[in-house]
Structure 1
Amino acid sequence: MVEERNREDAAKALVYEAKARLRDPVYGSAGTIFQLQKMVQELIVQLESTNAQVLELQQQKDQLLGTLLNVDHLDLHPLVDHGCSFPLDCEDCTAYDPAKFPVV
Structure 2
Amino acid sequence: MQDYQELKAANKQLTEWDAELNRLHERDGDLVLKVQMLEQELKEAQRSREANQNVAPTNADFPEPADLLNQLKGQRKKSIASLADIEVILELLDRAGGAL
TM-score, structure 2 normalization:
0.49
Of the two structures, which has the highest relative contact order with CA contacts closer than 8 Å and spacing of 6 or more?
2
If each structure's helix is expressed as a fraction of its own residues, which one has the higher value? 2
Max radius of gyration: which structure?
Answer: 2
TM-score, structure 1 normalization:
0.47
